[in-house]
Structure formats: C-alpha cells, structure tokens
Amino acid sequence: MGQSWDVKRLAGTLGAEVTGIRLAEIGAEETDAVKALLSQHKVLLFPDQHLSPDEHVALGQKFGELEGAHPNLAKPGMPSPHIFELKATEGGIADEWHTDLTFTEHPPLMSILNMVACPEAGGDTMWTDLIAAYNDLSEPMQEMLDGLTALHDARPHGNRDAMAIHPVVRVHPTTGEKALYVNEHFTRRIVEMNPFESEALLAFLTRWVQNPRFTVRLHWTEGAIGMWDNRVTQHFVINDFIGERVIQRVTVLGDDPQGAGAPRWRPWTERATISATSHWDAQLYRFLRDRDSKQAAE
Ligand SMILES: [Fe+2]
C-alpha cells in the first residue's frame, strides 16, 4: 500500500475513508492494494478526487471489464457509454435497499461512483454488510438458507420479464465468506418454498439486513469517489434532500454467483397442485419452464 495513504474505518462492520491517494494516478501495485482494501472494508470513500469522465472510466478499467449502457435505464448524451448518470431531479433516487442488478445472470462485481453535484444537506448513501448479516443468523437458519435459491426480477425498472435465479447465500470468490444475497428491491421468491413461506422468509431477511449495526452511512462531498463490492453489500440513498444530486457511475462486470452448495430441494412448482393459489406461482413457473426449454434446445 502507498506509504502516505491514511485508512480510517467509518463503522463497526464495513466502510473506510482513504486519503493521501490520487486515484487518477494509481498503477498496478496500488490498484491491487485498493482491491485488498475493498475486500476488507467492502465500501471505500475517497474524498477530493475530482476525476474527469475519462479518468473515471480509466480507473474502473483497472478493476475489470466495464459494463456498457444500463440494461433498463440507459440515457443518451453521456460522456462515455460506460458512464451511467443518475440525477435526483429525473427520478434517480435509489431509496430502496438493493444490490445492483440482481435480476441479471451476472450482477456487477463492483461500482465506482463519482459525486458530481451534491445537495446542500442530505442525500447520504447507506450500505449494509451482507456477510455480517449472514454471520449473525442462528445456525439452523444459516443451514436452511445455504440450500435455497431465489428468483429476482426487474419490476422496479418496469421490466418483470428480466429475471434470474441466484443462491440465497452467496460465497465471496476471494475471501470465501458467505453473504445473504436477497434484497427487497429485486428479490421476489424463494424457489424451493411455497409462496406464503417465501413471502414471510423474504420479509424477515430483507428487513434483517437493514439492522443499523450492519450498516455504514457515507456523507458525500463534490469530487468524492465511492466504490463498493456489489457481491456482499446492499445500498440505499437517503431521500431527504431538496435540490440537485448528480452522480456518475462506472460498473465492473460481474462473475457467476456461487452458492454455499447445490440447492438441496426441488423448486416448489414441481410439486404444487393446481389450485386457486397457483397464481402466486405463475412467475416462477414461467421462468423455470423458459429456462428448461432453452437448456433443452442448447
Ligand atoms: Fe444501486
């Protein structure tokens, strides 16, 4: 790590502020040091960076291949196809807890956010540590969750047909730690449970991860860079401000989410009988049918 860097933890479980570093100028060795800090702290804040769009994209490329335009919410006129801009005045306030894009097969590995314009007060972002949230569950709950999967969709983006199934407990590929991988924004259904069990369990889990003791809250200043490991965190923008808030984000393409083990039970829809409650299963049934017919055609 660079000799002059100062790393200050921002909460008990996750988050650190790094100063004494100029992100526009880091080489391979320093990039590796930032990656190690990100694995350890999961969320990093670098104040006073003031990166140009080109520098922002170049920084992202040091961490992996970047995503192109957002799958559902892309806008024209961006300085680079890799930059996704969110403006509060155009509805860009992500005030529901989520891991980014979990309705895709390969949700992003990490994102790097450039704070372009801040409101006078408010507009902080919170993150929650999904590894800490998993570790604080009881052993019987952990053991059950290890064998489950969940269906995610892009309903908040107006696209219910964009769906993916992921393990409920995801293993971090670098650290081997287990993280609770369901979120209130995109996760719709526990695949192996009946719809009423699924609803109750998801309500509990998505609320559990919001416990303040798993979280950190970042206060933004213009020119700050924030980065987070999207595999083991969720985030939430606090919608408490008046005025403009503009962020630009680059996103590193994700890997294949690995579970703690193979799913231990078959999907509920394979054993459900047709009844008046079957409409609750329609989305899951449709996803599995389409996936199976696609696999059969391959
Ligand atoms: Fe987000």
Q: Residues 143-152: pLDDT tens digits?
A: 999 999 999 9
pLDDT at 71: 63
Distance 156 CA to ligand 1 centre (A): 12
Residues sharing a CB contact under 8 Å with residue 81, sequence separation 6 or more, in sequence order: 68, 69
| pLDDT recorded at residue 86 | 86
pLDDT tens track for 153-172: 999 988 889 999 999 999 99
> In the annotation, is 100 catalytic?
yes
Q: Is the pTM of this model over 0.75?
A: yes
Average pLDDT over every residue of 252-271: 93
Residue 140 Cα to ligand 1 middle (Å)? 31
| Proportion of the chain above pLDDT 90, given as a percent | 80
Cα–Cα distances (Å) from 136 to 108, 142, 208, in that order, read 25, 9, 10
Q: Which residue did the predictor score with more confidence, 263 or 193?
A: 193
Q: Read off the pLDDT band of 79 (50, 70, 90).
A: confident
Indicate whether 279 pLDDT > 70.
yes
Of 98, 152, 188, 231, the catalytic one is 98
Q: Cα–Cα distances in Å, from 143 out to 24, 90, 160, 169, 247? A: 44, 43, 30, 10, 39
CATH number of 6-124+219-231+240-252: 3.60.130.10
Q: How far is the CA of 274 from the centre of ligand 1 (A)?
A: 38
Q: What is the tens place of the pLDDT at every residue in 108-136? A: 999 999 999 999 899 999 999 999 999 99
Question: Mean per-residue pLDDT for 230-255?
Answer: 94
pLDDT of 224 higher than 90:
yes
Please tell me the CATH code under which domain 129-209+258-297 is placed.
3.60.130.10
Which pLDDT score, from 0 to 100, does residue 243 have?
87
Around ion ligand 1, residues with a beta carbon closer than 5 Å are: 94, 100
**Residue of 88 and 167 predicted with greater confidence:** 167
Q: What stretch(es) of the chain map to CATH 3.60.130.10?
A: 6-124+219-231+240-252, 129-209+258-297
Q: Is 219 a catalytic residue?
A: no
Residue 160 annotated in active site: no
For position 54, what pLDDT does the model report?
95
Question: Can you give the pLDDT at residue 92?
Answer: 65
Q: How does DSSP assign 217-285, residue by residue?
A: EEPP-TT-EEEEETTSEEEEE-----S--EEEEEEEPP----BSSS-SS--GGGTPPPSGGGGGGHHHH
Tell me whether residue 136 is one of the annotated catalytic residues: no
pLDDT of residue 263: 86
Winning range, highest mean pLDDT, from 41-55, 65-79, 278-292: 41-55
Question: Is residue 3 scored above 70 in pLDDT?
Answer: no
For residue 74, the CA-to-ligand 1 centroid distance in Å is 14
